[in-house]
């Protein structure tokens, strides 16, 4: 099961348009989109999707303290939080449950992209049709589009 979480219906709708639940199901993957905005206890609701076991892997794509803390609470035993969001604040800190690190073997890894071998594997998977990179492309533009694109990154 793959669970995609956000607090913005527009972003979730865009992702679901790019990767429909039906397409994931055709590949044998249960895909669930969840908007946690307004939920009184989003951690409890999300953990309920795993019968309270937690998630093996949690990917964090926003350097927001509450998001990182929630990700920590969602980890299963031996769960890995992949912190992909590079913070701009050099003093970015959040509480992390070190009891779970010691007794439940939870861990965190920070990534900013793949290695050369990862890129080679991605190209091979794309060439054989096992990976659909079109899901990751939302805009195409030449060098002339760079200034406008940079100025409108939040959009």
Q: How many CB atoms lie within 10 A of CB 116?
A: 7
Residues 10 and 56 placed together within one structural domain of the fold: yes
Q: At 25, which CATH number?
A: 3.40.50.720
Looking at residue 135, what is its pLDDT?
67
Contact call for residues 81 and 71 (beta carbons, < 8 A)? yes
What is the arithmetic mean of pLDDT over 68-74?
A: 97
- Residue 2: what are its φ and ψ, rounded to 5°? -115, 125
Number of domains observed in the structure of the chain: 2
Please give the model's pTM, rounded to 2 decimal places: 0.74
Per-residue model confidence as pLDDT tens digits over 79-138: 999 998 778 889 999 999 999 999 999 999 988 777 788 888 988 988 998 887 776 676
Both 91 and 55 in one domain: the answer is yes
For the stretch 143-154, pLDDT in tens is 777 777 777 765
Q: What tokens were used for 116?
A: 């050369």
Q: What's the domain range around 132? A: 116-155
């Amino acid at each position: 099961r793959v669970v995609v979480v956000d607090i913005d219906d527009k972003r979730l709708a865009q992702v679901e348009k790019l990767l429909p639940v039906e397409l994931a199901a055709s590949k044998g993957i249960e895909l669930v989109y969840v908007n946690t905005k307004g939920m009184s206890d989003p951690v409890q609701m999300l953990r309920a999707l795993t019968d309270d076991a937690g998630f093996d892997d949690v990917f964090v794509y926003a350097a927001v303290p509450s998001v990182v803390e929630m990700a920590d609470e969602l980890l299963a035993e031996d769960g890995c939080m992949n912190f992909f969001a590079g913070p701009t604040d050099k003093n970015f800190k959040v509480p992390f449950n070190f009891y779970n690190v010691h007794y439940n073997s939870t861990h965190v890894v920070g990534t900013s992209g793949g290695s050369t071998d990862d890129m080679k594997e991605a190209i091979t998977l794309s060439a054989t049709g096992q990976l659909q990179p079109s899901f990751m492309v939302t805009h195409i533009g030449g060098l002339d589009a760079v200034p406008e694109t940079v100025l409108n990154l939040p959009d």
